């Protein structure tokens, strides 16, 4: 494959017991490509040197937080709340290209309260320090 690569996703070891169908839906839409093993690779990601959703971003995102490996330590929910409310996540270089992934104010509120409820109801397999 001289001009690109095929992407395979690692298996899901454990998913959180989501509180709220909307929480899961918003997460999958705006965070899931980089923070789960359910990445929907767009066609262009197989074409080098296009770099809007690249393996390295996804690898880095998953290594920090991976909702498909809920049996492993994840960042404290406060960090997620901070990233979402500041508008740092999802990254703007991603939302510019992937229409519909930028969060509206009401989606941010729904996602934040749903994540807090999900962490409380079904905590991950540890909290990462730092
Ligand atoms: C395009 C890929 C991508 C998407 C989409 C994305 N992230 Fe990230 N995320 C990353 C990468 C890469 C890092 C590590 C580098 C950084 O902090 O910028 C990261 C880091 C983080 C961190 C850790 C920040 C820190 O300072 O330790 C949190 C929390 C996080 N993301 C939450 C989210 C949430 C919540 C969403 C959805 C609302 C989301 N991310 C969407 C790629 C992504």
Per-residue pLDDT tens over the stretch 98-122 = 889 999 999 999 999 999 999 999 9
CA-closest residue to ligand 1 atom 36: 31
Pocket flag, ligand 1, residue 83 (CB < 6 Å): yes
Pocket flag, ligand 1, residue 80 (CB < 6 Å): yes
Give, in order, the Cα–Cα distances in Å from 119 to each of 2, 57, 93, 108.
43, 25, 28, 16
pTM value?
0.92
- Judged on CB neighbours under 10 Å (0-12, 13-18, 19+), 11 is exposed
pLDDT digits (tens, 9 = 90+) for 40-58: 887 766 665 555 577 888 9
Q: Give the count of domains, the chain.
A: 1
Quick check: is 97 in a domain?
Answer: yes
Place of tokens 């104010």: 105
Pocket flag, ligand 1, residue 61 (CB < 6 Å): yes
Its domain, for residue 49, covers 21-121
Quick check: is 109 in a domain?
Answer: yes
């Amino acid at each position: 494959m001289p001009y690109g690569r095929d992407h395979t996703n690692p298996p899901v070891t454990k998913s959180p017991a989501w509180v709220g169908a909307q929480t899961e839906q918003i997460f999958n839409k705006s965070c899931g490509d980089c923070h789960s093993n359910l990445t929907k690779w767009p066609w262009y990601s197989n074409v080098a040197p296009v770099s809007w959703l690249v393996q390295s971003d996804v690898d880095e995102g998953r290594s920090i937080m991976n909702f498909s490996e809920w049996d492993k330590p994840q960042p404290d929910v406060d960090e997620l709340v901070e990233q979402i409310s500041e508008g740092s996540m999802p990254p703007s270089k991603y939302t510019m290209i992937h229409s519909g992934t930028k969060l509206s104010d009401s989606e941010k509120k729904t996602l934040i309260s749903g994540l807090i409820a999900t962490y409380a109801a079904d905590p991950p397999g540890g909290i990462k320090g730092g």
